[in-house]
Structure 1
Amino acid sequence: MNENDFQENKKILTVTPQQREFLKQNYLEYCFKNSLAPEKFISKHNKALIWVIFALSLAVFQACMIYDISKGTSDISDTAYEDSIPDSSSSDDDNNESSADDSVKNTDSDINLSVVPKPSPDSENYTDNNGKYTSEGIAAAVRPSVVEIYTFSDKNYEQIYGTGSGIIMNTDGYIITNAHVLESGQSFTAVTYDGSEHKASVVGRDAKTDLAVVKIDADPSLVPAEFGNSDDVVLGEQVMAIGNPGGLAGSITGGYVSGLNRKIKADSTGFEMNCIQTDAAISPGNSGGALVNMYGQVIGITSSKYVSSSYEGLGFAITINDAKPVIDELISNGYISGRYKIGITFYGKGYAAAAFETETGFDYPQDIDGILITSLDDKCDISGTELQPWDFITEIEGKTVTDYDSVMDALEGKRADDTVKAHAVRITDKNGGRKEFDIQFRLMPDTSGDY
């Protein structure tokens, strides 16, 4: 048989049922003789039937398990609940028997939480052997000297604008506080630690240093604070701040002196004051309150205007030694002598562009470094110069000025009635035309306290 004949016969090769049975018997005999497990011959129909039976059996088995688990959990819960609550109908003997879970049941109704009085301090003044107060002693000794000040935006004491703190200076009714506490106020009251309310009047205020003095009627029952020498404060010394943050009267926080002789600028005026740095919490409402050493002496006047908004636990208090001359002059004069005003309002370079373009219709000159004048006070000498609103002042006393701080730097050492020279620029048209000119004016005395 050639190759082509073989391929042809291969195509029509078939196996009869008799041949299949014969082959099966020979295969089983072969497996038996050689100890092999014979392959099971299962038809497709039988295989499908086996899978159906298996699936049904599995489903029944799972259902039984779920039922048993559910029933078992219910039985356990019922048993636990019954064991945890004594049967009121059971006898005393049954109650004395141990339960299956060995739980202990309290039947003594006389057992209660005991609260005992606080032990008395070693001294009625809460002081230690060195004469220092404890924190409780500070609260008892100094808190009566700190008042809460209410600022009203009307003269009838009806519309509260804000609150702050103050320190009683003497029984004559003089109270030290911060100038910004009184800002925008038309009338004021001071509330002492015992809840007594007193109408207050402004003796003097100085926004530059953020210090002010108000006065209530003299009263021998007032408790004046004791003021200490802030030059004696040492780094690491324990201190406490007393004030009224958020209207919470008489709040006390504790901390340490974290730094000394910090030259800190107020966020409203940019004027530097010598401050004590502390980690005692100082918040709005604490302004005008007391920073106290552990001898009960006020060593600083706290102010939220000198508090860092960028870092936690960084507060400052104006030192008493630096505050004293300002306070004394406010009481004697009602203002700080030598304060002056230029008589202008202006934008610094970073804020001027939008206002300039809106008001003039000209493009803002990016090459000009200066302050943009928005108004002039007609009661001041500068209003009689060539300067007009929407002009730029680029130099004062030969120094470039671009913002509030640079203006104050240029005027350093000047006093009221001193003459000042400045250079100005005016934009004249949309093409950027300009006129440059010099002016000379006199600084005006300022007794308003607004700086």
Structure 2
Amino acid sequence: MDDKDSLFTISHNNENNELNSSDINSDTDVLNNNSEHTVVEADSAVLQENNEIKNTRRYDDFMYEPIGFENPHTASNEYGYYDSSEFYETKQSKNGKLITVFLALTFGALILLTIVCAIIDLSNSANFFDEYTPSKNVVLYRESKPKSDDKMLEKDKTGRYTTEGVAAKVRPSIIEIYTYSDKSMVNRLNTGSGIILSDDGYIVTNAHVLNSEGYHIVKTSDDKEYSAEIIGRDSKTDIAVIKIEADNLSEAVFGDSDEITVGEQVMAIGNPAGLSGTVTNGIVSAVNRKIRGDSTGFEMNCVQTNADISPGNSGGALVNMYGQVIGITSSKYVSSSYEGLGFAITINEALPIIEELIDNGFVSGRFRVGITLIATDTKSSREVVEKELGHELPEDFYGIYIMEIDENSKIAETQLEAGDFITKINGESVSNHSELYNALKEFEIGEKIPATCAFFDEEGNPVEYKIEFEVMEDTSGDY
């Protein structure tokens, strides 16, 4: 057998699926003995390698192809046989590359998707915080009001000012008043407001703001301060006039309080709690209210308003929308029990008193009894009196309780003592300030006035007695 025939027989033995190792060894010996054929030696090496592969794998018949029918996709060597291991390795290599590429693309897509989602989330978060939290990049703009050409001060067709116009017109006519015990100005007693009556320094205010023994400072709207002198005061009406040494002051314009109508818009301007030039507004709630002062009991004609009137507003102005002063505010006429219930002395009732105070320093026809009293016509006042006495009053007992008696008064010369009661004046029952004043005004100064008085004995029973006394002309302004 020829060496080449032996090689062909070994390579293409289709009858046996497995090579016989002894045949292979025999053929190998033949090849080794033929040293002249170098190609055979190379083929022997190839056969030896194939022998190792075939010892580890099993091949089916379809995996072998005859020479001359080489499949360009499967043939991998110059001898025309098909090496299945190379096919698997090539296919696995290609598949591996495809899988690697696929995984890389998938992983890259996931990373890209994650980045996009993160950007969207951050964008939404930024929008959220921009909406609900302050941003350092926010720029706030301010605009000035349009330059005024006095439109705020212009009147409408009826001649009324705007609220801004009223404030601008009237505030320069309102001053602050500070009352001190002496010139050291260490101990401040009261604060209040005032209305400038004339450009040379006459000012109207409330009597209770002032102190006859005190020292008074006036501060104008331009922050200038002046010492003030009391010209006259009337405690019954709670009106007083003071004077400062000044010129070219902005004097107020006074209206006619008889023309006030319910529902009319009004403004209160004063110095509540030391806050100068405070402006509040409201309406006229009622007119011609007869209101009695909480300390003097003197009845005054007042206008009722819901504009805020607080302590410190005393002596300030109630003005209409024409910029006219129609009332003088007073905390003495303000209800402490109800919200939004304030009163101002009508200017028509106040002006005659103001004029007389300027002319005389007091109101003529005023009289003074010389007593400090407590009424017994209300539950609260009766409780105060009962506390003073130390026992309850009989239900049918009424009168005015005497707290103090002025030792310089005519009534101090009678049997009346502090702790007693005046129950009747000239036979008319009296139980409060107004009833006492109405009974006394029927008598002239210096005329004898009969009165019925009473005190309680140790057993709590009232004991009556009668006196006669005279009232004195009041030029001090005190009640």
For normalisation by structure 1, the TM-score amounts to: 0.70
- Are residue 159 (structure 1) and residue 180 (structure 2) matched? no
SS of the residue corresponding to residue 128 of structure 1 reads coil
Return the alpha-carbon distance in structure 2 between the equivalents of residues 110 and 420 of structure 1.
Answer: 85
Determine the structure 2 residue equivalent to 1:401. 430
SS of the residue corresponding to residue 438 of structure 1 reads strand
Residues 129/225 of structure 1: CA separation in 2 closer, same or farther (3 Å cut): same
Determine the structure 2 residue equivalent to 1:268. 295
SS of the residue corresponding to residue 321 of structure 1 reads helix
Aligned partner (choices 124, 130, 149) of residue 103 of structure 1: 124
Return the alpha-carbon distance in structure 2 between the equivalents of residues 109 and 373 of structure 1.
Answer: 72
Q: Give 2:445's aligned amino acid.
A: A
SS of the residue corresponding to residue 332 of structure 2 reads helix
- What are the equivalent positions in structure 2 for 1:76-225 lying under 5 Å apart? 98-100=119-121, 102-103=123-124, 112-121=139-148, 123-124=150-151, 126-130=153-157, 131-183=159-211, 186-220=214-248, 222-225=249-252
Residues 374/224 of structure 1: CA separation in 2 closer, same or farther (3 Å cut): closer
Q: Give 1:297's aligned amino acid.
A: Q
Report if the CA contact (8 A) 1:152-1:185 is conserved. no
Return the alpha-carbon distance in structure 1 between the equivalents of residues 402 and 322 of structure 2.
Answer: 51
Give per-residue Cα distances to partners, 1:398-433, cap 9 Å, x unaligned: 012334343234324444333311123455x64678
Determine the structure 2 residue equivalent to 1:327. 354
Give per-residue Cα distances to partners, 1:62-109, cap 9 Å, x unaligned: xxxxxxxxxxxxxxxxxxxxxxxxxxxxxxxx99x9523642869999
Return the alpha-carbon distance in structure 2 between the equivalents of residues 433 and 308 of structure 1.
Answer: 36
Determine the structure 1 residue equivalent to 2:343. 316
Residues 415/155 of structure 1: CA separation in 2 closer, same or farther (3 Å cut): farther
Determine the structure 2 residue equivalent to 1:416. 445
Residues 104/320 of structure 1: CA separation in 2 closer, same or farther (3 Å cut): same
Report if the CA contact (8 A) 1:148-1:249 is conserved. yes
SS of the residue corresponding to residue 99 of structure 1 reads helix
SS of the residue corresponding to residue 162 of structure 1 reads strand
Residues 403/271 of structure 1: CA separation in 2 closer, same or farther (3 Å cut): closer
Q: Give 2:166's aligned amino acid.
A: I
Report if the CA contact (8 A) 2:298-2:433 is conserved. no
Residues 438/247 of structure 1: CA separation in 2 closer, same or farther (3 Å cut): same
Report if the CA contact (8 A) 2:192-2:312 is conserved. yes
Report if the CA contact (8 A) 1:153-1:184 is conserved. no
Flag the structure with larger Rg.
Answer: 2
Give per-residue Cα distances to partners, 1:303-346, cap 9 Å, x unaligned: 11111112211111111111000000000011111111223344
- What are the equivalent positions in structure 2 for 1:22-61 lying under 5 Å apart? none
Residues 384/238 of structure 1: CA separation in 2 closer, same or farther (3 Å cut): same
- Are residue 280 (structure 1) and residue 307 (structure 2) matched? yes
Shift of 1:174: 0.3
Return the alpha-carbon distance in structure 1 between the equivalents of residues 454 and 407 of structure 2.
Answer: 20
Report if the CA contact (8 A) 2:152-2:164 is conserved. no
Shift of 1:176: 0.7
Residues 267/299 of structure 1: CA separation in 2 closer, same or farther (3 Å cut): same
Q: Give 1:277's aligned amino acid.
A: Q
Shift of 1:385: 3.0
Unaligned runs of 5+ in 1: 1-93, 358-362
| Number of aligned residue pairs | 351
Residues 103/435 of structure 1: CA separation in 2 closer, same or farther (3 Å cut): closer
Q: Give 2:437's aligned amino acid.
A: M
Deviates more, 1:387-396 or 1:178-187: 387-396
Give per-residue Cα distances to partners, 1:16-50, cap 9 Å, x unaligned: xxxxxxxxxxxxxxxxxxxxxxxxxxxxxxxxxxx
Aligned partner (choices 245, 254, 258) of residue 272 of structure 2: 245
Return the alpha-carbon distance in structure 1 between the equivalents of residues 431 and 473 of structure 2.
Answer: 24
SS of the residue corresponding to residue 317 of structure 1 reads strand
Return the alpha-carbon distance in structure 1 between the equivalents of residues 297 and 254 of structure 2.
Answer: 27
For the aligned residue pairs, the C-alpha RMSD in angstroms reads 3.0
Determine the structure 1 residue equivalent to 2:414. 385
Unaligned runs of 5+ in 2: 1-114, 377-381
Determine the structure 1 residue equivalent to 2:478. 450
- Determine what percentage of the aligned residue pairs are the same residue: 51
Shift of 1:286: 0.7
Return the alpha-carbon distance in structure 2 between the equivalents of residues 109 and 391 of structure 1.
Answer: 77
Determine the structure 2 residue equivalent to 1:306. 333
Report if the CA contact (8 A) 1:151-1:185 is conserved. no
Determine the structure 1 residue equivalent to 2:363. 336
Residues 148/388 of structure 1: CA separation in 2 closer, same or farther (3 Å cut): closer
Residues 230/156 of structure 1: CA separation in 2 closer, same or farther (3 Å cut): same
SS of the residue corresponding to residue 120 of structure 2 reads coil
